[in-house]
A and B are shown apart, each in its own frame.
Chain A
């Protein structure tokens, strides 16, 4: 069963506008949540994570994400997008009772100048 869902295949925004990439999860217990970014022909780079504590987490390159337990969501946000943010973004969840790290299908972000 899919543990992580990214409902949008693509997100298109203009440079300077806010960027949101959505992620919902469906695992039991307390999840550990992650966001990664992949640039063309590269491996995945870690952006940020939620483990416990403050629901709003800040990460690399000005990105942040908000954990919402009632909505089982962990949306990635950036207040002002840059053209260089154009990439493929993955949400991932780690079940607290084992080591299985599962990824969503990915969302392609295109930021136009």
Chain B
């Protein structure tokens, strides 16, 4: 049981480049989330998807787009990367309203 899988694990981008972070879960969860983690800032919610076919903005959505491709997959796209987007990105998934979230191992992104 792989749980939540994120790819890639590491990435270096130049300012202005685009890329897509991939996330897939094999637990048949309905809800999925993207967070970024920065020192002293904790985890900040970028976007979330309550269920397949829906997405909503979180606390820091600017500069990002998401796609809930199907129930398993939830991707995060940076159209024009900026140094301020250097961070560790985590994907998570949950089943129904009351249960805990399961996290991937993270993607460490550096924008130079």
Contacts and interface: CB of A to CB of B under 8 A. Distances in A.
Interface in B66-90: 90
Contacts of B100: 34, 46, 49
B105 A104 contact: no
A35 B17 CA distance: 36
Interface stretch (A61-69, A79-87, A92-100): A92-100
Nearest to B41: A105
B19 interface: no
Interface string A2-42: 00001001000000000000000000000010101000001
Contacts of B40: 9, 105
Interface residues of B, number: 27
Interface size on A, as a range, is 20 to 34
A36 B92 CA distance: 13
A92 B102 CA distance: 13
Nearest to B45: A102
A32 B35 contact: no
Contacts of B31: 99
A56 interface: no
Contact of A102 (B56, B59, B103): B59
Nearest to B104: A43
Contact of B103 (A44, A94, A100, A106): A44
The 8 closest A-B pairs by CB, nearest first: A105-B42, A103-B43, A43-B103, A99-B50, A46-B100, A44-B103, A106-B42, A43-B105
17 contacts: A6-B42, A9-B40, A34-B101, A42-B105, A43-B90, A43-B105, A44-B92, A90-B42, A92-B101, A99-B97, A100-B56, A103-B35, A103-B45, A104-B42, A105-B40, A105-B41, A105-B42
